[in-house]
Chains A and B, each alone.
Chain A
Amino acid sequence: MTTSTSVMGGIVRRKEDPSLIQGKGTYVDDVKRAGELAAVFVRSPFAAAKINSIDVSAALELEGVHAVYTADDVRHLGPNPAQVAVGTLRPLLADGAVKHVGEAVAMVVADSRYIAQDGADLVFVDYEPGDAVIDLKEAHADKVQVHEGESNTLLTWAGNAWWEGVIDLPDPSPEIQAAKERDDTVTVSLEMVNQRLIPTAIEPRAVLADWRGGYESVELWSSSQIPHAVAGAVAGVFGIPSNKVRVIAPEVGGGFGLKLNVYPDEILVCFASKQLGRPVRWTETRREAGFASIQGRGWVGTATMTGTKDGKILGYELEAICDMGAYTHNFTVAIPLLGLFVAPGQYDIPTSYALHCVMTNTPTTDAYRGAGRPEAAYYLERIIDDFAREIGMDPADVRKANYWKPEDFPVTTAIGLTMDSGDYATNLDALLDRVDYEGLKAKRDAARAEGRLLGLGLSTYVEVCGFGPSALAGLGFSWAGYGLPTAFNGSGVVRVQPDGTCTVTIGTGPSGQGHETTWAQIVSDGLGIPMENIEVQHGDSLDSPMGVGTFGSRSLAVDGTATYEATGRVREKAAKIAGHLLEAAEQDIQFADGGAHVAGSPDRAVTWGQIAEAAYQPHTLPEGMEGGLESSVVFSPPNATWPFGSHLALVEVDPDTGDVKLLEYWATDDCGNVINPMIVDGQVHGGIAQGIAQALFEEAIYDDMGNLLTASLADYPLPDAASLPSFSLDRTVTPTDVNPLGVKGIGEAGTIGSAQTIVNAVVDAVSHLGVRHIDMPLRPKRVWQAIEDAKE
């Protein structure tokens, strides 16, 4: 890395904040269009029913209602597009049947949202309820079929055969079986639930479409992580070229994967706007977010671990049923596959994996922060703790005894994938030394002697992210599923303006990650242009370079690299121009202090303004040089990146009530090189909070009829400030070599490392009472019940 300024690796206040802290940010619901109409959806109260008829006449008679659309109106547009199209795609509006509670049946468009809701109350749907299947095991047994005539099990990802014909691996089962039969081994097994979650970005999704007749083009504002993909989908559905679709994702109020989808409402507002000749908006209500957006997690599985009594693990097996919900969305069946990618964790252990992707009469699941990897880390790191307890070894020692060593890298894992870099034992030791692990254990034991239930929980993890190599498209991870020209790459355009300021346009955009600041740091570092003179643009499918979007902790490693490379090219050309202007050799030009000078002669200098002015007056340039001062780079890395880390928690359990108090939380993560430590720490804080939320608070609960009992925040308790402690963070730095920045990604790491850290701590607090496992969320009733059950 060049370091001509100090901004790279330094704490820099965010460029996006002055707008946001003054309430001047523009989110989709803040955009207003003359003549706009508002939509509200009529949603199914049944998890499985035939629709006999829909009577929209009373709604249409209401003053202020402009239209009511049903499947009859939109059937010709086809289903909602998805990328990994295994399973049944969602119809834009329920067509003859509903498959989950909350499925959209009709769309009412009116002068205001209040009137649209009045209209929705007057739409009468005649349903004929049928049998629904909610329980995952019953669904796996095909007790009831969600889609008649189709098995609920869409496919099974198996560890040694996950990509038949591409990656061929030996079946590990005979080796694991042999290990189990040895006299000197111990086998432990636990069935555990990794419960469904509702992602809950604080900004609900919102869309606003303005179809421009005559041009037959459409402008769609959407709170989306993937504007380019949405544009491709809209173009495909309406049969118009993709350059007629402008999707704008302005400020996005949190994404976490839930906005990494193309949703029917995005298509439907375009349709309504085209039909009515007026802009049409829809803004999700919080309650609707439990039905209209995707959910995450939802696994029931059994983890089994076999190893010697001195801690050498000889086999790890996981068989799980993974809830897909009633329809396939963008990545639905691919989420468990992401878990499989990190199945063996940081360990050199034979691994057998079988993940059954099963449909139920519930809303769709898809990517939620971590997406498959938190689930995988949960099962692995819970069972390794259980194994350690069974053989009486410290859980840190068992982990260290089975890690890949630094000299093993690049490592080919038991799943056949190659991990870029890692130094796991050093990372774990850094954490244990920092917190005085032995001292904490003594403190816990002393408290326990007084009858207090303190527990220490450890988890380490490895993540796969920074997607990714465009070769993944060949494995099914491609937007080409739309049959549309859209991208699977990172991109960045760097342009120095004639006045010496700089515009950076990128193919990925933030939903809180601070792209504008981090990208400006990269460019400022490369060119010596001050941060305040760099503007970072994003989130417009026509004006931004082709990109994939923000997910999978990929933006910096892939699109950031593209910008880094583009910066280098601009710098090269600028050096030639400066050399020409200063009558010096190009290689003698150095950049600093907002301009360029000849090495050793700081007086022989030009400003960026002078360089740029020359660039845009081609007659002043060296013979044969093209005018302009910008570069556009597309980057596809050779591999994904593999961050890792170690987390530790101290909890206290109230023995009378089961109430868990999280006392302290420490994390030492390793995401390779860091550009802005403040932003990276912020990502870890938020990630940890979401993992703790899964461990202690959150669960999407359905009754047997498929009703979501936790649709409001009153019953889906997000952690508030009073229910969390401050976090103590640190880092080790093990750069990757798959991109020149050496960066890996940090958006999901906190979440992947934290849920099992908490559960391990709580189980540690009550294990001496005979408790081996408690399913999440560890609400007081569950913890108390576990203690009670252990008494029997």
Chain B
Amino acid sequence: MVKSENGSGFMSHRTEDVVLEVSITVNGTAHRSQVEPRTLLVHHLRENLGLTGTHVGCDTGYCGACTVIVDGRAVKSCSMLAVQADGAEVRTVEGVADGDELHPVQEGFWECHGLQCGFCTPGMIMSSVALLESNPDPSEEEIRHGIEGNLCRCTGYHNIVKSVQFAGARMRGEEVSS
């Protein structure tokens, strides 16, 4: 008769209360915080800094709902430790609008029905912002490849692509209509 146990039996390595201090500037505001080394950046943003616009949709860095821009690079904040972002400038969905004025990418998503349930949207917006900042006039194929690290279950991406096209045109100063 086979018997097997299920608990991994691993005692988590807990050096007496390892906490480190990190300084991270988020959307222009400097935050100094104490974190455990294992704290993921996304949990730091959501739970310590109260910025719940950045979402968690998977465990393995596939869905992109947690996408934020760190020092100008769009990254997945669920696959990054908060300590790795020490000293960095982080932009989240809460920081892309200019005061009351929506970012053109936000306008595009609203105008073109680029969201349904809205859960993937913050990450999708951050990837789109990063894409358009590096490639102001992407083709449909470049848009589709540019956001392939962000999964959406609602839209089939059809209107997301249109949203990014709308935003790109607006950022280039072109007349746009949905």
What is A's interface to B at a CB cutoff of 8 Å? 13-14, 16-18, 20-27, 29-30, 32, 42, 44-46, 52, 55, 58, 105, 114, 118, 120-129, 200-204, 251-256, 283, 285-287, 510-514, 678-679, 681-683, 685-690, 712-714, 718, 720-724, 726-727
Contacts and interface: CB of A to CB of B under 8 A. Distances in A.
Contacts of B52: 23, 26-27, 29-30
Interface in B45-93: 46-47, 50-60, 62-63, 65, 92-93
Contacts of B5: 124-127
A721 B160 contact: yes
Contacts of B2: 128-129
A720 to B, nearest CB: 4
Contact of B116 (A18, A29, A105, A682): A682
B18 interface: no
Given A124-B6, A512-B118, A287 B59 contact: yes
Interface residues of B, number: 71
Nearest to B122: A23
A23 B8 contact: no
Nearest to A125: B6
B132 interface: no
Interface of B: 1-12, 14, 36, 38-39, 46-47, 50-60, 62-63, 65, 92-94, 97, 102, 106, 109-111, 113, 115-122, 125, 140-141, 143-145, 147-161
B126 to A, nearest CB: 10
Contacts of B4: 45-46, 127, 129
17 contacts: A14-B113, A20-B121, A22-B94, A22-B97, A114-B36, A120-B7, A121-B7, A126-B5, A127-B4, A202-B57, A254-B153, A283-B56, A512-B154, A682-B159, A686-B153, A718-B153, A720-B151
B128 to A, nearest CB: 11
Contact of A42 (B6, B125, B148, B156): B6
Nearest to B146: A721
B115 A121 contact: no
A532 B59 CA distance: 39
A713 B62 contact: yes
B57 A203 contact: yes
Contacts of B110: 13-14, 17-18, 21
Given A27-B119, A124-B5, A129-B4, A721 B109 contact: no
Contacts of B161: 721, 726
A105 B7 CA distance: 11
Contacts of A42: 6-7
B4 to A, nearest CB: 5
B100 to A, nearest CB: 10
Instruction: Sort A-B residue pairs by CB-CB distance and give the 4 closest, nearest first.
Output: A23-B53, A253-B119, A689-B156, A512-B116
B89 to A, nearest CB: 18
A125 B9 CA distance: 11
Contacts of B144: 721-722, 724
B115 A23 contact: no
Contacts of B59: 285-287, 712
B106 A21 contact: yes
Contacts of B122: 23
A126 B2 CA distance: 10
Contacts of B149: 720
B109 A685 contact: no
Given A286-B63, A688-B156, A724-B158, 13 more contacts: A17-B109, A29-B56, A30-B46, A127-B5, A202-B120, A511-B117, A512-B118, A513-B116, A682-B154, A718-B62, A721-B150, A722-B144, A722-B145
A128 B3 contact: yes
Nearest to B145: A722
A510 B116 CA distance: 9
Contacts of B14: 118
B163 to A, nearest CB: 10
A105 B102 CA distance: 47
Contacts of A251: 117-119
Contacts of A255: 117
A472 B7 CA distance: 46
A17 B93 CA distance: 14
Contacts of B120: 202, 253
Contact of A286 (B60, B154, B160): B60
A453 B15 CA distance: 61
Specify which of B46, B53, B54 lies most central, judged by the most chain A CB atoms within 10 Å of its CB: B53
B154 A254 contact: yes
Nearest to B160: A721
Nearest to A98: B6
A122 B125 CA distance: 40
A21 B63 contact: no
B20 to A, nearest CB: 15
Given A13-B110, A128-B1, A721-B157, A713 B63 contact: yes
